[in-house]
Every structure is written in C-alpha cells, then in structure tokens.
Amino acid sequence: MFLDVLFPNRCLACNKIIENNLIACNVCFEKIQFTHFDYFEENILKEICKTLFPVENAYALIQFEKESLSRKIIHELKYKNREKTGEILANWITERVDFKNEKPDLIVSIPLHTKKLKERGYNQLHLFAETLSEFYKIPFDHEVILRNHYSKAQALKDKKHRLSTENIFSINKNISGKHVLLVDDVFTTGNTIATVAWEILKTGDNKVSVLVMAIDK
C-alpha cells in the first residue's frame, strides 16, 4: 500500500495514474491495435505458420507496430519487470477467444535459457500461460521444451541472426497424442515457433496450435 502511494501505477501512454490491474487508461486503451483475428478462421498468422509447419489454429492478440502502444506494452512486459502485464494480456485473450469443443490438451510456452531467466528474473510467458490455463482449464507445462543456447534478445539481432534457430531447442519430455497450444510473446519471422513446433510434432502423434501476444506483420 505504501509503495502504491510512492510509485502509483501509471498509464503506459499518457502517464495518468490508473488502477493496479490496468496498463492503460480508458482513453489510451482505444489506441491499442487489436488484431480482431478469429482463432478458428484464416488469418495472416495462420497463413505464415502453414508455410513453416502443420498448424491447426493460430491467434495473435495485438499488432506489434513501430512506435505503438501495443509495442510498448510488450517491451514493458519483457524488459521493465512488469510480469503482471502477462496476466492482463491473458485476460484480454479470454474475452476474445472461445475454444468451444476444440480445446487444446496442453499449453506450452517458449522457454528462456537458464542464464537469461536468471538475468531477467522471470519468463514473461509463464504468468501469461498460467492465467490462460486457469481460465480455460487446460494444463500447462513449462518444461516440455528446453532452450539449449543462450542468445541476446531478438529485438537486438539483425535479420540474418534471427533466422538462425538450428539446435536452439530440444524436447525435454515425451508427449504423445496431444493437441499443444504453443504460446509466445511476439511473432516475427516465425522461425522460433516453427523450430519448437517441429520438436513437438516429431515426438508423437501430436498437433500444434499457436497463440501469441503480438504479431509483427
């Protein structure tokens, strides 16, 4: 309570003091560029994924555009110690996505390398995935995939290095006959998600759908 007085929660766009469970005031919320995708219908994310690996369904919540509030939200989550933002984004998804009778069996998040996890102090996807898991009643497992190599942030890499994902990930648990919902923060080239998806697909009679916070397209 005392810290809330000294350091009140502020809107990421206009700096107005807002409630602790918000990231933007009511006025600035309208600036967030939602995709309005349908999880079950064709969209640009699904189209790109289909060129990289067999995908069932795909959904992105917001557009990751330059100098946008949407971009700032993701950067605050990843680099400014605002892990709680992952929960807020998950709640926005629950308001927009209904899995109906085709609910995935397992939620798997893209892992950080242990060194990166120690540096950041948290995986920005864990609270996000756990919030989705609680709402949809879908189990999550953060240990299905391992990241084998430490690498600098995607945002700091040039395009050539972003395209190189060979041997970065490996399967850590054998899963079979599962429809896996693979979650990540930002979809750019799709190579990271594709690499993880193939690890899941090659271990058994599995299926993969994709859900990301933002798409950079």
Chain segment 16-58, per-residue pLDDT in tens:
999 999 999 999 999 999 999 999 999 999 999 999 999 999 9
- Alpha-carbon distance 106 to 98, whole Å? 16
Q: Helix (H, G, I), strand (E, B), or coil: what is residue 110?
A: coil
In angstroms, the Cα distances linking 202 to 30, 64, 132, 195, 197 are: 42, 31, 25, 11, 9
Q: How confident is the model at residue 5 (pLDDT cuts 50, 70, 90)?
A: low
Give the pTM. Answer: 0.90
Evaluate if residue 3 carries a pLDDT over 50: no
- Alpha-carbon distance 121 to 143, whole Å? 17
pLDDT at 194: 97
Domain boundaries, the chain: 1-30, 32-215
pLDDT at 77: 97
Query: What is the rounded average pLDDT of the residues 133-138?
Result: 98
* pLDDT tens per residue across span 70-110: 999 999 999 999 999 999 999 999 999 999 889 999 999 99
Evaluate if residue 141 carries a pLDDT over 80: yes
What is the biggest distance separating any 2 CA atoms in the chain, rounded to whole angstroms? 53
Residue 9 burial class via C-beta count within 10 angstroms: exposed 0-12, middle 13-18, buried 19 and up: middle
* pLDDT tens per residue across span 187-211: 999 999 999 999 999 988 999 999 9
Strand partners, 59: 211
Please check whether the domain covering 32-215 is classified as CATH 1.10.600.
no
pLDDT at 162: 47
